Structures are given as C-alpha cells and as structure tokens.
Structure 1
C-alpha cells in the first residue's frame, strides 16, 4: 500500500512564479558610414598614386638602361635589372673614362676580347689585385698585369689590406711583388674591413705606415680605395689629400661625387672576355686629366 507524502517544495503549493533571468546587454553594432568609406577610398588613391609616381620616375630616370634591357627582341635574355643601372650610369658619364678591376676570382681573362661594357662603352683602364696582407699574392696577378699592358689598358696594382696584420710586412709584400712602370697608376691601398684585434687608432697608424713605406719606394703617393661609409666615418679626417677610389653600389646613386676621383659603381658588370661579374669604375675626368695621375 502506497504512503501519502507531503510536497517537499512549499512554493509549488501556492503556485509561485519562477525567477526571471537578468537579460544580457548587447553592445550596439557600429554601422559603417560614408565617412569610413571615403577614407578607405582616399587611402587607395594615395597608394596607387605613389606606385604610379615611382614607375614614372623610374622610367624617366633609367630610360637609357630600360631601352638597353629590352633591345634585341621582346625578351631580355641574359640581362638583369643591374644592367639597367649600369647602362644608365655609363650614359650619364659618357664624357668620362670607364674601367674595371679584376683578381684571380675572374679566372683566366681573354684580354684580346676585352674592349667594352654592354657593347657600347669602351674601357680605358684596369686595377689589378696584386697582394693581400703580409704574405698573400693574387694567383692571377702576373698574367693579368702583362695582359693589361699588352692590350693597351692603363693599369694599376692594388694591395688588399688585412687590418690585424703587421703594416710593414704588408708594405714589403707589395713592394716585393709589384714593379710599376711609366704610364701606370700609382699603387693602390684597399682598406675595407674593421680590425678585430686592435683599435681604429692603431689601424690608421698602420695605414699611414704602409702609405709612407710604399711612397718612399715608388716615389709617388698611393691611391686610397674604400667603401663610402667606411671612408667617411673612419678615414676621411686622417687621409684628406689622397686620390680617392670610392665604392658605392647603391642603385639610386646615379652621379659621381665631385670629391671622388674614381667611382666603383657596381660589382655586377658584364664584359666580353671575362667570365662572371666584374666591378666597373668611372674616372672623374678626361684622358688629359688622367695622364696627370700616372707614374712619370
């Protein structure tokens, strides 16, 4: 028999209403108005205008290089964007002399085939690496030195300076291996690297010592080669009176600076008779001017 149990919830007996849930407040959604659409349109107009402007500037500034790039047919086979700048720079300096520099990295050079850049600009001079540090000798120096003279290039020999090696031994290495003749460039000191084992002050003293020893031997003041930033920050105030050969490959640097005697403007040059890329240089003057630099 079932038992008669009372309701355990007293509220149900009187029909109480259930408790209401607190409504969740919703954040009002922002409607995109005409103002935001206008700013978006302005942004895209500015972006498009910027890139169109860049394209127009590039087309005007590098018109000769672009013409060369697309010459000889619809495809620019074997050419690169670097050739655009090379041809443009050469066109802007068509009243100056053009040269190149080589080392054993260029392999065996067919000197008889070397005559121009891009088939349009004749070559007049060449700098050839001779020595490196206190005992390094470029493997191709003797062959290149003879080849340049035999093919009527104005030639110059350069020494790659190792900043942590003895400067006197480096000067002796160059003097021992390089015989300069009448009509050659003065010796060239190539300094590009920061020292790791000595201060910049001691490096500069070593460079001054190398220059003095080499100048005393050859009776002519050496040419100084370096990158523009390195020269400006570390050498300019200590070597103000030297013939300068400055490297700057910046794509947007289009003109040689008045204080530069030589400008190495690219390392991506292409020359008939030389395998691979070659450094190209411009001399800031004429044939009459360059004669005054040469060894008498």
Structure 2
C-alpha cells in the first residue's frame, strides 16, 4: 500500500470520528434541554399549586370551617384540571369570591346568633316580669354599662362615666336588720352611722328618746325658698329641733331646700343659713337640697343642667368660705339628668335611693335609704340615713 492511500484512509477515519462525536454532543444537549424544560415546567406547576393552596387557606381561615376545606380543595383542583392553568387575574377573582362567600356566611351566622340572643333576653324579661319584678329591676342587669332610671314617664339609659369618682361599697357588706334599718360592715365590724333628717312634718320630737334609739346624727331642715313666690322661709321647728338634738348629744347638720334660679339667689340662701346656724355647734355638713319639685310652676324646673350646677356651686362655695362643710343632696334623676356631675367632684354628697341595692355607681358619703323609717320619740314616719363616716 502506498503512503498516499494510507494517508487518505486515515483522514477519512478521522473525519468519521469527528462527525460521530458531534452527533453525540448534539444528542446530550437535546437531552439536557428537555430535562431543563421539564424541571422548569414542574416548578411552574408547583408554584401555581402553592398559590392555589394559599387561596384555599385564606378562605378556610376566614370561614373557620375546616371541615369544608377538603371539599373546596377538590373542587378547586378539579376546576384547574378542567380549565387548565389560572391566570393571575382569574386566581385573584377566585380568592375574592372565596372571601366574599365566607364573609356572607359569617354575617348570616352572626345575625342568627343575635336573633337567638334576642329571643333569650325576651324570654328572661317575660319570666322576670311574670315573677313580679318591676321593669327597672328587669332592665338594669341587662345594661351593666348604663344607669337605667325613669323620669318624666320615660326610661333613660345613661352611660356610666368611669372617669368620675365611684363609691366602692360592696353589696355583701350591707346588712338589713329585722327592723328595716341599714348598716354597713367591714371586717365584721359596723362602720356606718345611723342618722335621720327631719322638718316640721315630723311635728314635736322627743330628742331624749331619739338619742336612746341609737340615732347618732341628724340633718335638720333650716328653711326653704318658695317654689312659686321665691320667698325665703325658716322652718318653724328648726330652733326647737337644733336645741333638742344638741342637748342630747346628737351631731347636727342642716339643709336648705332651694329654688334659686341665679347664683346671686343661691348666695342669698347660703347667707340666710349662715346667719341662723352661727349660734350653734354644727359638726355635720350644711346641705344644699337641689332636687326637682313636682310642679309645673316651680321656679327651678326651668333651669338647664349647667344653670342648676352654677347655683349649686355658688351656694356650696359660700358655705365653705364661712368655714363649714358643704354638701349637696340629690337622687339619681338630679345627678344624671339635672346636674353636671363632673363639675361637683370636689364636694361631699348626700344620696337618696329607696332600695336595698347599691346600684348607683358614683361616690357619696350619706345614703338616705327610706322615707318610711320608725324611730322612738317621733310620732310618724321619718327619713332614715346611714353615713359611711362621721364628721368631727
């Protein structure tokens, strides 16, 4: 064989090897490309699956009904298989619809629960009224954040102001004795003091018997202003009562039944009181009685809460400036509807409420709990009080 032929055969062989190697490289490249495509497609499907699962989780979280999640998942996957892949817009719409359905179902559930509770409350009201409870007794436990009262033939629901001073007395510490008298206990000891308030309507009083019956203090009506005439009048029994009470060791305070319609008139009333108590030892407060008169012609009934509070402060400040302890007398209607109670935070309070419940939330130092009390030395009924402290 010639060298030339040998060389040609080697060249042909080398070229064939090169072509075979190129073919193999192209085959490997196609395989690698196919694998990458499959992996990428798998990742895309996996990401879409995670998004769908997140949408289902959102619906399940809002609805709170985990038992329905599997069914929703199967439905969503079935829809995905039938319709192909969701676009982002379609997925957003599916999530929004799921949320809307959950909210609608929750709203229906809340409405049903509210209707059920309403039926329960109505049932409780029917039972309590049938058992003889008053409407007020029935309503009050249902509105723990309000003071419920009746005035002018209407029920009033007055929100309790937590920023005002509260009394802090405990119902379990209140004792009602067999004779109907109240006393307040702390650590097994009686800490309250028994008192009465009197005027000409109690007639002639035997103060020796009153003192022997355990009365520790008394508020005497010193006088009043005519609710139509506006005239200042001294109570006709004041002098006899103050002398008799002091002579038998009973501590004395006084009250004035006001019909002042201006601060000037309130100051006039205070000076009227100060002139008459000057000769006597007054250990208990001097009280401004600012309650409402049940007469359409009463002078004070025309006042706004601001104006009534203005005249109250004018009286109390005049008494305090003279060195006495000022106090105002009120009931729930007066406090909540006729006065601006927040402006009277700094003054002592005498509260009237005829019941055994410590219902009224705000602070007071004296509680007038009945107008039908009985005390030896007094012929008829008399107002009874307990004081939660005694004045020096």
Q: State the TM bucket, normalised to the shorter chain.
A: 0.5 to 0.7
Alpha-carbon distance between aligned partners in 1 of 2:239 and 2:281, rounded to the nearest angstrom: 17
| Residue 261, structure 1, aligned to residue 365, structure 2 | yes
Paired residue for 2:183? Answer: 90
Q: Which residue of 2 aligns with 1:192?
A: 291
Relative contact order, CA 8 A, sep 6+: which one is greater? 1
SS in 1 for 2:383: strand
Q: For the residues of structure 2 that align with 1:101 and 1:63, how far apart are their CA atoms?
A: 21
Please tell me whether the aligned partners of residues 176 and 183 of structure 2 are also in contact (alpha carbons under 8 angstroms).
no
TM-score under structure 2 length normalisation: 0.48
Q: Which residue of the partner structure matches residue 117 of structure 2?
A: none
Indicate the residue corresponding to 2:207 in structure 1. Answer: 111
Q: Indicate which of 216, 224, 227 corresponds to 1:132.
A: 224
SS of the residue 2:268 aligns to = helix
Number of corresponding residues: 211
Distance 2:303 2:353 in 1: 26
| TM-score, scaled relative to structure 1 | 0.62
**CA deviation string 1:26-48 (max 9, x = no partner):** xxxxxxxxxxxxxxxxx9xx969
CA displacement 1:105-130 (0-9 Å, x = unmatched): 1000011111366xxxx221111000
SS at match of 1:237: helix
Structure 1 pair 223/97, CA: closer, same or farther in 2 (3 Å)? Answer: same
- Tell me if the contact between 2:331 and 2:351 (Cα under 8 Å) persists in the aligned partners: yes
1:143 aligns with 2:221: no
Change (3 A) 1:104 1:258: same
How well do the aligned residues superpose, as a CA RMSD in angstroms? 3.3
Give the unaligned 5+ runs of structure 1. Answer: 1-42, 54-61, 69-82
Paired residues for 1:30-69 under 5 Å: 51=131, 68=178
Match of 2:344, SS state, is coil
Q: State the Cα distance separating 1:228 from its structure 2 match.
A: 2.7
In 1, Cα distance between equivalents of 2:198 and 2:210: 12
Match of 1:247 in 2: 352
User: Rg bigger for which structure?
Assistant: 2
Task: State how far apart, in whole Å, the 2-side matches of 1:223 and 1:162 are.
Answer: 16
Gaps of 5+ in 2: 1-122, 134-173, 226-230, 294-299
Q: What is the DSSP-based 3-state SS (H/G/I as helix, E as strand, rest coil) of the residue aligned with 1:196? A: helix
Retained in 2: the 8 A contact 1:162–1:193?
A: no
> Which secondary structure state, in structure 1, belongs to the residue aligned with residue 249 of structure 2?
coil
- 3-state SS of the aligned residue for 1:155? strand
Output the CA distance in 2 between the equivalents of 1:229 and 1:52. Answer: 24
Q: In structure 2, do the counterparts of structure 1 residues 205 and 270 end up closer, same or farther at CA, with 3 Å as the change threshold?
A: same
Relative to 1, partners in 2 of residues 1:268 and 1:209: Cα closer, same or farther, differing over 3 Å? same
Q: Which residue of 2 aligns with 1:152?
A: 249
Corresponding residue number in structure 1 for 2:57:
none
CA contact (8 A) 1:92 1:255 kept: no
Q: Is the helix fraction higher in 1 or 2?
A: 2
Q: Give the whole-Å Cα distance in 1 for the aligned partners of 2:329 and 2:193.
A: 18
